[in-house]
A and B are shown apart, each in its own frame.
Chain A
Amino acid sequence: MAQPTETPKRKTFMGQKTITAALRYILMLLLSLVLFGIILALAGKNPIQATIDIFRSTLGSSYGISEVIVAMVPMVITAVAVAIPSRAGLINVGVEGQLYMGACLATWGALTFTQLPAWALLPLLIALGMLGGAFWAFIPGFLKAIGLVNETITSLLLNLVAVNITAFLIFGFWHGPMDTNKTASFIPAARLPTFFGTRIDLSLVFALALLWLFWYLMKYSRWGLEIRAIGGNPQAARRNGIPLKAYQVTLMSLGGAIAGIAGMSLVSGYYGLLLANFSTGYGYMGFLISWLSFGNPVGILLVSFLVAMITTGGNLLQLTQGVPYAVINILLALSLYIVMARPKFFKEAKQ
């Protein structure tokens, strides 16, 4: 029997693999722009002018860039929350709900522990956020591990429940003296510090740290090896002694915890209070981004930036040109559609 020859170690970071990946993302960017133009034209707006406007408003000024980053950070975090479980074959669609629950628990902390100084309160809020999100993800994870229900359906339904619970808490207990749909502003100690007068806050650091941890975990650690094994062939992984159920529950909870950090960052940083329905779909956006970037950390960063650019610019378009926000949804959905349709240049070996 002829034996295949040894091939050298896979090319590492700098090499053919990176270049094709970069090309892929550039292509995606171009495709999105073209799609965007078409949709705008259909909506009766001038696509060229609109595109120029978007670029100018987002990248043309330091304020613009900072706004894009502000929009990008929660998406990066939620994308990581989706990507980590996805490596083991788990589909965590419940990121939206986990985000809300993390925000709720963090809000409770912010409203209760008003005596604490910032250096004690903020870590506590982070922990609470992680706890809330982890709990919300534990439920579908656990149900999946004991083999009862598919985690996709349960986490989807729990999303809807989480939004209701949040509203219930606000309207019932936490609302501020003036409005019924949001809490009072958090005390300064409960707010994430911002940078240089922009609205970018500490959550940027969280996002970058999480990305790096994600990358390191999967590439170098033993757990990453086992996670990838589960994703590649769950039965074989199990026969080799990898504790499948433990990983399923842990990874879902971990994803939830990360989503909870996103939720906490939004209420403690961006908003400074808990508002009913505060999430404009960050959780679903994270899901989309994770899929569009094939669960790859670098890809997540790039695609999040792109999406943030589109949504921020889109907000502006809505104000200036009356383009409805729905167009953004369509654009993102179509981008995902095209990526999933896998035309040849997007083909990549399954992670």
Chain B
Amino acid sequence: MTLLAIFGVISSAIYSGTSLLYATLGEVVGERAGIVNLGLEGILLVSAASGVAVAGMTNNPYLGIMAAMLAGGLMNLMFGYLVITRKANQLASGLSMMFFGFGLSALIGRDFVGVKITALPKLLLPGLSSLPRLYTSLFRFDFLIILVVPMAFLIWWLLFRTRWGLVLRAVGENADIAFASGRNPLWMRYQALFLSGLLAGMGAAHLAIVYTMSWTQYMTGGIGFIAVALVIFSKWHPLRAIAGVLIFSGAVAFQLLLQASGVQVSPFLLNSIPYVLTIIVLIAWGGNRKQSAPASLGRVYQGTE
């Protein structure tokens, strides 16, 4: 277990954690407005496929990122139509979006498997340039990684220090009261979902365009579900989400470290660790969870006469 290996694993944890954090932040926004999106996995896939497709076609990774964000936003609006306007059950609707995402992403990405994508410029954090070349290459981060933690702070500020955020949270707690205060809960939920989709798109873009620089079917490997679980873990708070993602990526990194150091454990068992860990964490935090969730989470807003 060389220092290189350890650093390598930390670096990969940061890379994968970034996508996860974007997706989690997006889901926090949506759930604070009262909507659970189990279809996040499908939406991430569609964003990733769209991003790779556009990046491949235009040879411009930035356009690819924007395409991914837009795709995420649009998919979430489609989801929103079901759960907001048609007032359908959120859990089942989410799953239908998941399937839709599986299929649509396969269609979109079909022609782009193995396409070449221009890499994003990567910057080195100041202060690390004195390290040997071998190490610095591990710590060159693109702008999406650099932005992700500030983004968490931005979301926090948006939710807790602005009028928009106040109304969003009110809608998630009690849409009737929000309506009584003169706001439109339905419209607010659409906005929340759109922002959530944009953030998810950023996460998917990072995974596909920057990290793996390719598209494969089902490449997100469950991070959509993990993100939903992490939202619960972080009690719907953007800043705690950072901690949650750190812990989780740390566990994933640890698993990789085990593999890298030649420990003879079946890769399949190791693959299960993230999911089992999430369940255990959910259980451990279970008692507190009920009081912290937005009161209207999952409930359909019926509207008044």
- Residue from B103, B232, B269 in contact with A329 in the complex, judged by beta carbons closer than 8 Å: B103
A156–B223 Cα gap in the complex (Å)?
12
Q: Which residues of B contact A91 (CB under 8 A)?
A: 91-92
- Residue from B38, B97, B266, B282 in contact with A154 in the complex, judged by beta carbons closer than 8 Å: B282
A287–B225 Cα gap in the complex (Å)?
17
Asked if B115 is at the interface of the complex by the 8 Å CB criterion, the answer is no
Q: Which residues of B contact A328 (CB under 8 A)?
A: 103
Report the stretch among B26-34, B80-88, B116-124, B191-199 that lies at the interface.
B80-88
**Shortest CB–CB separation between residue B248 and chain A, in angstroms?**
13
Asked if B287 is at the interface of the complex by the 8 Å CB criterion, the answer is yes
B86 to A340, Cβ gap below 8 A?
A: yes
Q: Which residues of B contact A165 (CB under 8 A)?
A: 268-269, 272
Q: Which residues of B contact A156 (CB under 8 A)?
A: 38, 225
A291–B102 Cα gap in the complex (Å)?
19
**Shortest CB–CB separation between residue A342 and chain B, in angstroms?**
6
Asked if A160 is at the interface of the complex by the 8 Å CB criterion, the answer is yes
Q: Which residues of A contact B269 (CB under 8 A)?
A: 164-165, 168
A330–B286 Cα gap in the complex (Å)?
35
B276 to A161, Cβ gap below 8 A?
A: yes
Q: Which residues of A contact B275 (CB under 8 A)?
A: 157-158, 160-161
Chain B residues in the interface with A (C-beta under 8 A): 38, 81-82, 86-89, 91-93, 95-100, 102-107, 110, 222, 225, 228-229, 232, 266, 268-269, 271-272, 275-276, 278-279, 282-283, 286-287, 289-290
B225 to A157, Cβ gap below 8 A?
A: yes
A171–B270 Cα gap in the complex (Å)?
14
Name the CB-closest residue of B to A156: B225
CB 8 Å contact bits of A162-194 with B (1 = contact, 0 = none): 001101100110000000000000000000000
CB 8 Å contact bits of A318-331 with B (1 = contact, 0 = none): 00000011111111
Name the CB-closest residue of B to A325: B106
Asked if A147 is at the interface of the complex by the 8 Å CB criterion, the answer is yes
* 22 A–B contacts, CB within 8 A, in A order: A147-B290, A148-B286, A153-B225, A157-B229, A160-B222, A160-B272, A160-B275, A161-B276, A164-B271, A165-B269, A324-B106, A326-B102, A326-B103, A326-B107, A327-B103, A327-B107, A330-B104, A330-B107, A331-B103, A340-B82, A341-B82, A342-B87
**Shortest CB–CB separation between residue A308 and chain B, in angstroms?**
16
A336 to B268, Cβ gap below 8 A?
A: no
A291–B99 Cα gap in the complex (Å)?
14
Asked if A143 is at the interface of the complex by the 8 Å CB criterion, the answer is yes
B86 to A284, Cβ gap below 8 A?
A: no
Chain A residues in the interface with B (C-beta under 8 A): 43, 91, 93, 143, 147-149, 152-154, 156-158, 160-161, 164-165, 167-168, 171-172, 284, 287-288, 291, 324-334, 336-337, 340-342
**Shortest CB–CB separation between residue A323 and chain B, in angstroms?**
10
- Residue from A148, A149, A329, A336 in contact with B106 in the complex, judged by beta carbons closer than 8 Å: A329
A-B pair count, CB < 8 Å, reads: 121
**Shortest CB–CB separation between residue B263 and chain A, in angstroms?**
15
A154–B91 Cα gap in the complex (Å)?
13
A126–B279 Cα gap in the complex (Å)?
29
A148 to B222, Cβ gap below 8 A?
A: no
B225 to A329, Cβ gap below 8 A?
A: no
Given contacts A147-B290, A148-B282, A330-B103, 12 further A-B contacts (CB under 8 A): A143-B283, A153-B282, A160-B222, A160-B272, A168-B266, A284-B99, A326-B110, A329-B102, A333-B100, A336-B92, A336-B99, A340-B89
B88 to A154, Cβ gap below 8 A?
A: no
A147–B289 Cα gap in the complex (Å)?
10
B88 to A161, Cβ gap below 8 A?
A: no
Q: Is the interface of A mostly helix, strand, loop or mixed?
A: helix
- Residue from A168, A331, A333, A341 in contact with B268 in the complex, judged by beta carbons closer than 8 Å: A168
**Which 4 pairs between the two chains have the least Cβ-Cβ distance?**
A329-B103, A148-B286, A326-B106, A333-B100
A154 to B279, Cβ gap below 8 A?
A: yes
A77–B289 Cα gap in the complex (Å)?
34
A127–B95 Cα gap in the complex (Å)?
30
A43–B271 Cα gap in the complex (Å)?
35
Q: Which residues of B contact A149 (CB under 8 A)?
A: 279, 282-283, 286, 289
Q: Which residues of A contact B278 (CB under 8 A)?
A: 157
A164 to B268, Cβ gap below 8 A?
A: yes
B103 to A172, Cβ gap below 8 A?
A: no
A93–B286 Cα gap in the complex (Å)?
20
Q: Which residues of A contact B82 (CB under 8 A)?
A: 337, 340-341
Name the CB-closest residue of B to A154: B279
Name the CB-closest residue of A to B282: A149
A337 to B229, Cβ gap below 8 A?
A: no
Q: Which residues of B contact A168 (CB under 8 A)?
A: 266, 268-269
**Shortest CB–CB separation between residue B112 and chain A, in angstroms?**
13
B96 to A333, Cβ gap below 8 A?
A: yes
A288 to B286, Cβ gap below 8 A?
A: no
Q: Which residues of A contact B225 (CB under 8 A)?
A: 153, 156-157, 160
**Shortest CB–CB separation between residue B188 and chain A, in angstroms?**
21
Name the CB-closest residue of B to A336: B96
- Residue from B96, B97, B104, B268 in contact with A167 in the complex, judged by beta carbons closer than 8 Å: B268
A164 to B91, Cβ gap below 8 A?
A: no
Q: Which residues of A contact B104 (CB under 8 A)?
A: 326, 330
A167–B269 Cα gap in the complex (Å)?
9
Q: Which residues of B contact A326 (CB under 8 A)?
A: 102-107, 110
A324 to B92, Cβ gap below 8 A?
A: no
Given the known interface contacts A157-B225, A324-B106, A340-B82, the answer about A152 and B272 at a Cβ–Cβ threshold of 8 Å is: no
Q: Which residues of A contact B279 (CB under 8 A)?
A: 149, 154, 157-158
Name the CB-closest residue of A to B278: A157
> Which among B87, B88, B97, B268 has the highest number of chain A CB atoms within 10 Å?
B268
> Which among A91, A153, A287 has the highest number of chain B CB atoms within 10 Å?
A153
Q: Which residues of B contact A331 (CB under 8 A)?
A: 103
